Chain A
């Protein structure tokens, strides 16, 4: 068990520096969100209507950024071989990586999401729900993204391939996360969507490590 905590501390330290860390993801998030008013026109009414949903979309895209390096560094310098043979099960290592990805990338993005949404015109009363749905959704995004990252180890295409593999699997969190906010904004019951979002995140966190470990073992064989 202590091995797992060591792994988690290591992963969090690596995640702060990997792929530019959360700062790069945040910048990408803001930059993508900036394109939205340029694309649909700056009329406040129209922007406000799509603000929560498009903030969620930009969040999903920004979550993709540091995924490529999730396993890559360990794979390239041979650490992944040692981890596969070591006392900590590879599934636990994968779980630590996904958790670190969520805490170091997903949490800052979740903090930025309400700011971006309000900047795009969302009402202030939506802010708590936007933060919570982004935080919970980030769990599903981190682990599903981790599956894509593990599957594309040793492939020729890396980043774009991960996006192709993972974006269809991002559909449920985006649907439920943005749906919860839309429901709240419209005065409807937002609990079901948030519940389904949490269910997806927890299922991804529980089952994702097995897929990630299987994919890593395949790449190492």
Chain B
């Protein structure tokens, strides 16, 4: 499917209807998710602060998912040399950095009432902070090289090198004694959360993913337009 979309014109035709549609799905799902967030019964231990989970956890999922997408786009760009893959990578990084920042901030706000501290340098939080720094490094490297194609290629190499961080984040709560709670959804033996919490979490997660998909398509479209505009400007100049 990605090979079919690699053609810029086909991607533009596809995303013209797909981006708004996925965006509307995102708005609906997040609206439902937020309504459920505020109406689920409170947790017997955490009280009302458990509602933060429905905002924090999907953001953390997306932080890692976006980096995986960035890695995929980088791989496609390096191997197949699609200009659209380079555009996808450049478009994806700020979104991923945004989700990571959201996860860090909401996690900190949740940690204050729960753990009594805004921040702790345990394995998971440090590795997510490292993920945030990797996003920033990716964007900094692209900005620092003038030639766009070279910049995209160098940043793709960096993104692939940083992919090692994803399994470290996922398994950090298993490998180390951390303050952050261990896996309760994606673990061997199935989720340990009751369905009343699992459903809003799933709805918010899919809503966030749809939001990312829609914004990503919009950003890639604007990258394509920007390059076309640059090409036209060069033509007009000489």
Residues of A in contact with B (beta carbons under 8 Å apart): 147, 151-152, 154-157, 161, 164-165, 167-169, 171-172, 175, 211, 214-215, 218-219, 221
Q: Which of B29-37, B42-50, B134-142, B210-218 lines the interface with chain A?
A: B134-142
Shortest beta-carbon distance, B94 to chain A, in Å? Answer: 16
Docked complex Cα distance between A161 and B154 (Å):
13
Asked if residues B137 and A164 are in contact (CB atoms below 8 Å), the reply is: yes
- Chain B positions within 8 Å of A172 at CB level: 168
Known: A154-B145, A221-B150. A168 touches B157 (CB 8 A): no
Contact with A along B155-169 (1 / 0, CB 8 A): 001101110010010
B78 touches A151 (CB 8 A): no
Give A215 Cβ to nearest chain B Cβ, in Å. Answer: 5
Q: Is the CB of A168 within 8 A of B141?
A: no
Q: Within 8 Å CB of B140, what residues of A?
A: 157, 161, 164-165
Q: Is A171 in contact with B130, judged by CB distance below 8 angstroms?
A: yes
- Contact B133 A167, beta carbon cutoff 8 Å: yes
Supposing A164-B136, A164-B140 touch, asked if A171 and B126 sit within 8 A by C-beta, the answer is yes
B144-A157 in contact (CB<8A): yes
**B157 / chain A contacts, CB cutoff of 8 Å:** 147, 151, 211, 214-215, 218
Quick check: B141 and A165 within 8 Å, CB to CB? yes
Within 8 A of A (CB), among B98-138: 126-127, 130, 133-134, 136-137
Assembly CA distance A215 to B155 (angstroms): 9
In the complex, whether B180 has a CB less than 8 A from a CB of chain A is: no
Asked if B78 and A214 make an inter-chain contact with CB atoms under 8 angstroms apart, the answer reads yes
Q: Check if B150 sits within 8 Å of A218, measured CB to CB.
A: yes
Cross-chain contact of B141 among A151, A211, A214 (Cβ < 8 A): A151
Tell yes or no: B82 within 8 A of A by CB.
Answer: no
* Cβ-defined contact, A169 with B154, below 8 A: no
